[in-house]
Structure 1
Amino acid sequence: MQNAMEDDRFQQFNKVKLSNGASITKNLLENTSNEKKTHKSKQPTNQLKSGLLGWYAVCSIREISGDDPYFFTMFNEPLMIYKDKDSNLRCIKDLCPHRGASFRGGQIIDGELVCPYHGAKFSSTGKCTNLSRITCNHIVDSNYNNYATKIHLYQYLCKEVGDYIFINYTGSSSTNLEEIEVKENIDSKILNTYGFKTEEYKFEEVIVDFKCDWARIVENHLDILHLFWVHGETIPDADVNRNVITSFNQEITRDSNQIESKYKYKEKDKGEFIRIKFLPPGRIIIYKGNPEESRYIQVLDHIPLAKNQARVIVRHYRKFLKNNFFNSLILFKNLQHRIFYKVFAEDYMILRTQTFNDQMGYIEKDNVKLLGEDKMIQYYWDWYKNSLNEDKPWDIHPIKSDTNSVHQELAMLYPPENKILAEKNNREIVVKLIARLIIPIGLAFLLI
């Protein structure tokens, strides 16, 4: 009986009636006999080797400018990234080991981190370099030699890969980076290994913060069909809107490193429409067509800041409009950013209400019904729930009901939760347009 019900659920994809009278025909093309068997299995099996702990892209290298540190959180834990005197990236727990203060408001002087509370200085190895003079020049504690062996920074491995900064998040920071066991090679995070050469593209980037469940945002970005319905009037693509939604063949493949879904036009001569890769724990790559031929590629990195708080780094790579002067002239960057902010604002209420419904226990098998085109979503949730049970990342640094929320409040910096950047971008568009009008008018007056 159970198998029949599951089989019936996955057969619902044969024909889906839409509100405007259109219909979608979905044929899931499975590559192996094992994939075909999942139609009748109780639940798709998890094949991904990576769990929720591992390498995360947490920011762009542009966020670490000069001597300014970058503060953020991961699974509730407050962290900070800065460059030491040799320009090496360091990711530390935002906790001074002297008295437990935050490093917010501190300084980076000659590559050394200085605590704003009592002036303790720390080298790139995490050792305090001014133990005998932390507070007052005329007071020297006789216990400093013993104290020196105990005061040190708590660190995570931090690497720059392809213009991104990654940290190997394990939930347990260390005072000795050489003792950390790395389960996954960081080279697997190089974008050029996924079918396209970044040097052939230009990209625009925004960072967006959400007050909702991290896992729900990942699910949202794996869902191709919502683009037509939610963002059809915002995305400047003639192939993406409610009026042109059509039939696709969907082909899903899985291995130990990724889940991939290809959406192909029913007409064989038209090839692929879109391809999506999920690379655990937090990266999604979306190609407009075949990766080797795609003129437009989106890379999304999802960062679990805290419970009900998440950050997404969004990059849109393109092979067109690559001339910097022309892009500046037509305000391409500002216009792209305006689209980005609007798209994510359109998703925001959906994500927040989904988070609420999930946490209330409303999103369960009896209340929601997955269709055939949701099969990639099913595979993703299978991985997520399995990883959640094994890694238990939210249990490592749990937030209690009486826990001060200062780090969670300070972490929310970007739209749509904070619309300041979106409003600033709109003002820049207006100012630049006015400047472009004033300049030719001024020249005309001079000529007259």
Structure 2
Amino acid sequence: MNEENGKNNKPFEYETNNLIRSNFNEKESVQDLENIAPKPSNQLTNGLLGWYSVSSSESIKEGKLNHFTIYNEPLVLYRDREGIVRCVKDVCPHRGASFLGGEVINGQLVCPYHGARFSSQGSCTNLDRITCQHIIDSNYDSYAKSIKLFQYPCVEKEGYIYIYYTGTPLANIEDFQIKSSINSLLPDSYGFPSLEYEYEEVYVDFKADWARIIENHLDILHVFWMHGDTIPDKNVNRETITSFNQKIKRDNRQIESIYSYKTNGQEEFIRIKFVPPGRIFIYKGSPESTRYIQVLDHIPLGNNKARVIVRHYRKFLKNKLFTNLVLFSHLQRRTFYKIFTEDYLVLKTQTFNDQMGYIQKDNVKLLGEDKMVQYYWDWLQNALNKEKPWDIHPTNSLTNTVHEDRGMQYPPENPNMAIKNNRQIIIKLLTRLLFPISFILLLI
């Protein structure tokens, strides 16, 4: 990885010993550590505008619309007649209606207001003609040629849907100047071939600041205290709180933090990679030997609204018949939902405190173990100042809340899916118990 970045992009490394204890020596605050570790010559190349993973492939069903927002801008995903996923601005260019309540008919996007149809032309990626059969107008042919949907580049890879987000969709997809490579986000670029793994996946929605959620997921050490009773790992709980060595590396596409035990021959405990703008990789152990990898994609839906796609890859329990029998996926989803519910109150209160101006340098004290968090905030502040993504589609107190009201579909904000999953566990367990009992009764 370092070789491909070039001679001048040698990763900067920062190394310290970190205790996961409340009595950590305050002399090793981030401000003191800045004096120990020189500023690196290389910085993260990608900012806040660029490639985002916004959905899984499985979620984009043929003939269905998938609505979401990003930085407050309403967008819609669907598959055209060739099965290619399109991402368009959720505004009909005929009269400005949304496609909420609309349809996909034979791969054409149909507006619910007047039945205007938008189609892609062969292999062309443009959606450049309305075929509204209900409007009788002698000038219709000229009108249909000049009106177009606005869209973003959209790519489907390894079960993910990525869009190249700039804040300004274009009528002609070929007019986009792609300034960053999607390869910088792909799992295969970071030490594991994803197709060799099985995975479970959930979506989680938060009414909290997007940036705070990323910070929470970079802070892997809080899991000992907050999630020790939930995570099915006997080595991660309040009783096993221990100390680690930490090494932080940075190059032009990632920030990486490696935690290794001070005992056990310096064995690696966990590794975290932040790849901007919103992807995090978490390896249980070193990338070469890990059997378990978590990928989290963070989507800034809007003000105080964010979605996370959580995918847990594994090299064990790959037999689908067995995993279905033991309800492995259902039990995993239950664990995921519980973990994020445990985080939720902290995230909401942090968001409030930040917006009230309570989280300032003089009011919070970062420790040595928070160094990765500090690097993340440095990158974020620079990107916000440079790109200002929240200023592109601003909302105010008078803005209609139609997209906000329907946007929170998943736990922990909307508990319905968690309730449904728990109900399915109970029903399937009862079914598995009733079958042998019925068989025994028949024999009797």
Same fold judged by TM-score > 0.5?
yes
* Structure 1 residue 134, shift from structure 2 partner: 3.9
- Compared with structure 1, are the counterparts of its residues 113 and 11 closer, same or farther at alpha carbon in structure 2 (3 Å cutoff)? closer
Contact 2:18 2:245 survives alignment (8 Å): no
* Structure 1 residue 345, shift from structure 2 partner: 0.2
Is residue 173 of structure 2 the alignment partner of residue 216 of structure 1? no
Identity %: 59
d(CA) in 1 for partners of 2:323, 2:15 = 47
d(CA) in 2 for partners of 1:411, 1:100 = 20
Alignment of structure 1 residues 57-72 onto 2, 5 Å: 57-72=53-68
Is residue 128 of structure 2 the alignment partner of residue 127 of structure 1? yes
* Structure 1 residue 320, shift from structure 2 partner: 1.4
Deviations 1:29-59 (A, max 9, x none): xxxxxxx983358988881010000000000
- 1:18: which partner in 2? 22
- 1:229: which partner in 2? 225
- 2:48: which partner in 1? 52
- AA aligned to 1:173 is P
Is residue 306 of structure 2 the alignment partner of residue 310 of structure 1? yes
Deviations 1:249-300 (A, max 9, x none): 0000000000000001112625100000000000000000001100111000
Alignment of structure 1 residues 19-418 onto 2, 5 Å: 38-39=34-35, 47-124=43-120, 125-131=126-132, 133-135=133-135, 139-140=136-137, 142-267=138-263, 269-418=265-414
Deviations 1:3-48 (A, max 9, x none): xxxxxxx9997767538xxx799999xxxxxxx9833589888810
Contact 2:17 2:246 survives alignment (8 Å): no
Deviations 1:149-169 (A, max 9, x none): 431100000000111000000
Contact 2:18 2:246 survives alignment (8 Å): no
- AA aligned to 2:75 is L
* Structure 1 residue 198, shift from structure 2 partner: 1.6
Partner of 1:38, secondary structure, is: helix
Contact 1:44 1:379 survives alignment (8 Å): no
Partner of 1:326, secondary structure, is: helix
Partner of 1:113, secondary structure, is: strand
Contact 2:296 2:310 survives alignment (8 Å): yes
d(CA) in 1 for partners of 2:42, 2:333 = 36
- 2:9: which partner in 1? none
d(CA) in 1 for partners of 2:184, 2:16 = 37
* Structure 1 residue 66, shift from structure 2 partner: 1.9
- AA aligned to 2:90 is D
Contact 1:81 1:89 survives alignment (8 Å): yes
| 265-274 or 352-361: bigger deviation | 265-274
Contact 1:26 1:373 survives alignment (8 Å): no
TM-score (norm 1): 0.90
* Structure 1 residue 190, shift from structure 2 partner: 2.1
* Structure 1 residue 126, shift from structure 2 partner: 1.9
Contact 1:12 1:371 survives alignment (8 Å): no
- AA aligned to 2:443 is L
Contact 1:14 1:25 survives alignment (8 Å): no
d(CA) in 1 for partners of 2:107, 2:365 = 55
* Structure 1 residue 323, shift from structure 2 partner: 1.2
* Structure 1 residue 319, shift from structure 2 partner: 1.4
Gaps of 5+ in 1: 1-9, 29-35
* Structure 1 residue 416, shift from structure 2 partner: 0.3
Gaps of 5+ in 2: 1-13, 121-125
